[in-house]
């Protein structure tokens, strides 16, 4: 199936938001879609960045150096079509209707994408986002979040909410073991954070992970 491009919103030199027509496709926040440039024959998975109730689809994409699809998708223009299949995956919120639950969403870089989709889809849940980035400009769309609920851990620049990596932040600020934790980003970060949270008493049943690479 093809979906028409509505626009591209540049966030940094390497990261952009791709906006596509929804065409009535239903999805659960946090699922991913396989996208590609029409006639290129190559697709990659991208997590939903927009909410379940929004008119269009949005995806937060980082151009990987030398990457095939992430770079090609940046060149599409409004009115072009991209290949689209999905939704896929089960990195979705467990029991969002239970408003007594506390959620902690930990993402690095574009790993914040599914979490934006969660909080836009389920505005009444009790959530905190811990976003690990290298630079201040990588706090993608940070103005969209309640500052009381969004903590940017910025490792290479000062001026964020915390100067350092998410792992150091978590060691200094242990998590309540009853918190339901969702982790998204590169696999090395996931492993390290998973171990820290388990040591802090978070149950394996309350830990969900999605690896981008």
> Which residues form the interface with ligand FAD (CB under 6 A)?
32, 44-47, 59-62, 64, 67-71, 89, 110, 113, 210, 212-213
* Measured CA distances, 180 to 39, 119, 131, 148 (Å): 41, 14, 16, 18
Closer to ligand FAD by CB, 36 or 179: give it: 36
User: Shortest approach of ligand FAD to residue 2 CB, angstroms?
Assistant: 19
CA–CA separation, 213 and 211 (whole Å): 6
Closer to ligand FAD by CB, 44 or 165: give it: 44
Closer to ligand FAD by CB, 16 or 169: give it: 16
Closer to ligand FAD by CB, 175 or 183: give it: 183
What radius of gyration, in Å, describes the C-alpha atoms of the chain?
17
User: Shortest approach of ligand FAD to residue 210 CB, angstroms?
Assistant: 6
Closer to ligand FAD by CB, 44 or 142: give it: 44
User: Shortest approach of ligand FAD to residue 143 CB, angstroms?
Assistant: 19
User: Shortest approach of ligand FAD to residue 9 CB, angstroms?
Assistant: 14
Closer to ligand FAD by CB, 87 or 206: give it: 87
- Residue 180's contacts (CB-CB under 8 Å, 6 or more residues apart) are 94, 101, 102, 103, 104, 206, 208
User: Shortest approach of ligand FAD to residue 134 CB, angstroms?
Assistant: 11
* Measured CA distances, 178 to 35, 102, 151, 152 (Å): 36, 8, 20, 22
CA–CA separation, 180 and 141 (whole Å): 24
* Cα 84 versus chain centre, distance: 19
Among all residues, whose Cβ is closest to ligand FAD?
Answer: 67
User: Shortest approach of ligand FAD to residue 33 CB, angstroms?
Assistant: 9
* Measured CA distances, 121 to 46, 58, 63, 66, 101 (Å): 17, 13, 26, 34, 16
């Amino acid at each position: 199936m093809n979906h028409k491009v509505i626009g591209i919103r540049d966030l940094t030199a390497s990261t952009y938001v791709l906006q596509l027509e929804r065409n009535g496709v239903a999805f659960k926040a946090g699922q991913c879609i396989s996208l590609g440039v029409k006639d290129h024959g190559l697709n990659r998975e991208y997590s939903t960045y927009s909410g379940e109730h929004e008119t269009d689809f949005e995806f937060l994409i980082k151009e990987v150096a030398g990457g095939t699809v992430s770079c090609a998708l940046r060149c599409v223009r409004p009115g072009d079509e991209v290949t689209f299949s999905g939704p896929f995956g089960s990195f979705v919120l467990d029991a969002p209707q239970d408003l007594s639950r506390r959620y902690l969403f930990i993402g690095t870089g574009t790993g914040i994408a599914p979490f934006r989709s969660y909080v836009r889809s389920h505005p009444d849940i009790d959530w905190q986002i811990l976003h690990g980035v290298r630079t201040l400009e990588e706090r993608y769309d940070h103005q969209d979040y309640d500052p009381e609920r969004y903590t940017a851990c910025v490792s290479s620049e000062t001026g964020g909410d915390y100067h350092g990596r998410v792992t150091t932040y978590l060691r200094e600020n242990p998590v309540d073991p009853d918190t339901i934790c969702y982790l998204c980003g590169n696999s090395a970060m996931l492993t390290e954070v998973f171990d820290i949270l388990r040591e802090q008493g978070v149950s394996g049943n309350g830990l969900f992970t999605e690896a981008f690479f």
